[in-house]
Amino acid sequence: MILTVTLNTALDITYRVRSLRPHASHRVSEVTERPGGKGVNVARVLAALGHEVTVTGFTGGATGRVVQERLASVPGVVDALVPITGATRRTIAVVDDRSGDTTQLNEPGPTVTPAEWSAFQEAYEALLPTASAVALCGSLPPGVPVGAYAGLVRTARSAGIPVLLDTSGEPLRRGVAARPDLIKPNTDELAELTGSHDPVRATQDARRRGAGAVVASLGAEGLLAATPEGRWRAAPPSTLHGNPTGAGDSAVAGLLSALVEHLPWPDRLTRAVALSAATVSAPVAGEFDRRVYEELLGRVTVTSEASAA
């Protein structure tokens, strides 16, 4: 079982409009709702790849009930969310059909009490003995300590379970110091962590700060990986146009699934890039176009560079 942690779960709502214009009224052509938050998106993709997945984090209020109802209909995903008093947040994505651009509005999330945080930590520790890997994903809701991910990384490592961390800012900085097996920042998050805007230098610096391996998202250009075994770049054959929301979460699912399958790094990166690109071709975060994914698996380019420091 793979365990995904989403401390700031969400109900993802996607609106499609013909053309998004500031200061104007818009007629929405389509509305979709999905249980969301980065770790939930990761879980949905992992389940679609055939892995058993358990989702944990927080859920509360009427929105939280909708999230759990929708999650119950996702094959292969087990709901282990911890109830809280506050209401689960919503995220709004507005897709401009004319340009293909997406505008994202993210609510901050509910305030978590100290007692609720303690209850989550107990639930997390109880789930670890049956986990083959853990993904810690997304932002922290108000009330959760900024060093929360660092503690969760240490707990997983003490249990001998590989852990992937995908967050940003101060939670990432503190989490890296706890020595996660893998982090997956984008270039902006990596620059904020290391102070370097050179991705090659920044990935190496992130490893020196404690990350076992670093896979940096380069957007449409693919991924850059710095690992104990070496350094690679992986790129799709061409730029795909569509909704990029959730593409990074699909890359995390690809990396995590390949990790538990003990695939070599080039194969891990190939899967991650193919899934990420196939998600851009899908209409909703947490889903991917399987036809595009299978087609891209044989077309992703992975090149080896000098050994990582």
- Catalytic residue, chosen from 188, 249, 267, 289, is 249
Q: What is the C-alpha to C-alpha distance for residues 201 and 108, in angstroms, rounded to an integer?
A: 32
Q: How far does the chain reach from its first CA to its final CA, in angstroms?
A: 32
Which tokens is 232 given? 């690679």
Distance between CA 256 and CA 31 in Å, rounded?
30
Distance CA 141, CA 146 (A): 10
CA 95/CA 283 separation, integer angstroms: 9
270 and 232 Cβ atoms separated by less than 8 Å: no
Q: Is 101 a catalytic residue?
A: no
Nearest CA among 136, 151, 191 for reference residue 169 = 191
Asked if residues 223 and 200 have their Cβ atoms less than 8 Å apart, the reply is no
Distances (CA, A) of 211 to 87, 196, 226, 275, 276: 33, 16, 10, 23, 22
> Which of 42, 93, 32, 94 lies closest to 66 in space, CA to CA?
32
Dihedral sign (CA 183, 174, 111, 118): positive
Rounded Cα gap, residues 222 and 272, in angstroms: 9
Catalytically annotated residues: 249
